[in-house]
Chain A
Amino acid sequence: MNNFKSIDATLSVNGKSVKLGTQSLCHILMSFLDLFTDPNILAELANAEDFELRRCVARSENLNAETISLLLQDPSESVVEYLFRSKNATKHLKHEEILYALNRSAYLAEKVANYLGQLRKHNPNVNIEELYSILATHHDCRVRSIIAQDVTTPLAHLQALVMDCDADVTRQARETVANIA
């Protein structure tokens, strides 16, 4: 269970300070995330009570492995989703962490399916074949649909999806197989 902290943020200019509320800090983070390069500050913000702050932080390319793991456990799925948008995070995620995310909900499984290409490209620790197997047989047809449209999906999975119970998935898999051929 995450133990969230309240965030005490101030902006000071030449010794004169103003306290920043969560919304102001969120606005700064959202607009100028590139300024937040210090992993220690990002780690503080990853523990913030406000989920918007945590979501902003999840997009950062400067998170350390510990913060990435913490954010992956976030109770808010949108925080985890934002984590998958970061190249750096997808590079550092462990295979078990990805399995944990995709088993959490169909929504997150869909996000994992969307970022399989990125995972394959940047993360050598991931067993990509296993991910395809799980996602190609996922109970949610939206997840299978993403896999059926992905030209990098192994042919065996695409051929299985041609026989899918959902007509759209079947059509998409057939079209992808045709495109590959």
Chain B
Amino acid sequence: MNSFKKINALLTVNGKSIQFGSWDTYRIIGDYLEVPGGTEILSELAHSAYNEIRLKVSYYNGLSLEAIEFLLDDPVEKVVYETVTAQNGERLLLLNQQQILKLISRSPKIAHALARYVNKLMENTQIDRIEIVSAISRHPDPCVRHTLAENRSTPKELLEKLVTDSDMDVAQTAQNTLNTFQSEVTYEQL
């Protein structure tokens, strides 16, 4: 379980300071934190007890790996979702096998996001990619499997398994995706 911190934010102008409470801290978070020195501040804010601050921080570039890992464990699903999907799923390249497996079982919404970003998962060299995508393909929610079935980055062998899915839409979609590969091969042969 994440342990959150009290945030003490100060703006100082020529030695004179204004102290901000949680709400005002949330309001002033801005792009100007996406600078080298801003990473440490973003990390502190990622640990805030105020969930709106964590949510806002989750979008930012320049989050440290420690902050990303912390946010992935967030009790608020939306924070986890935004942390995973920010920067078009680029952060998935930083995660290990255990972290991604945990995300798959976190919630259908998160698993769905992972199914959308299979392309990123397939680029991640520190994980067993087939095992990960296979775990998504076994998700109990057909919506997650459907997204995987229509994703052209899903490995062919897994699409072939999804063709026999218990949900007929998932099965049909997987077949359609496979067919597009087939027709491309035929076109290239021509």
Residues of A within 8 A of B (CB): 5, 7-21, 23-25, 27-28, 31-32, 35-38, 40-41, 44-45
Contacts and interface: CB of A to CB of B under 8 A. Distances in A.
B172 to A, nearest CB: 50
Interface stretch (B38-46, B121-129, B180-188): B38-46
A16 B8 CA distance: 10
A9 B32 contact: no
Nearest to B27: A32
B9 A11 contact: yes
B38 A18 contact: yes
A159 to B, nearest CB: 52
Interface string B12-27: 1111101010001101
A5 B43 CA distance: 33
Nearest to A16: B40
Contacts of A40: 16
Contacts of A44: 13-14, 16
A118 to B, nearest CB: 28
B32 A18 contact: yes
The dominant DSSP class at the A interface is: mixed
B18 A38 contact: yes
B27 A13 contact: no
Contacts of A13: 7-10, 25, 41, 44-45
A9 B11 contact: yes
B66 to A, nearest CB: 13
A8 B33 CA distance: 16
A157 B20 CA distance: 51
Contacts of A21: 32
A13 B32 CA distance: 14
Contacts of B45: 13
A179 B3 CA distance: 68
B28 A11 contact: yes
Contacts of A12: 9-10, 12, 41
Given A18-B41, A28-B32, A32-B24, 17 more contacts: A7-B14, A9-B11, A11-B10, A13-B10, A13-B44, A14-B7, A14-B8, A15-B8, A18-B35, A21-B32, A28-B28, A31-B27, A32-B28, A41-B16, A41-B18, A44-B14, A45-B13
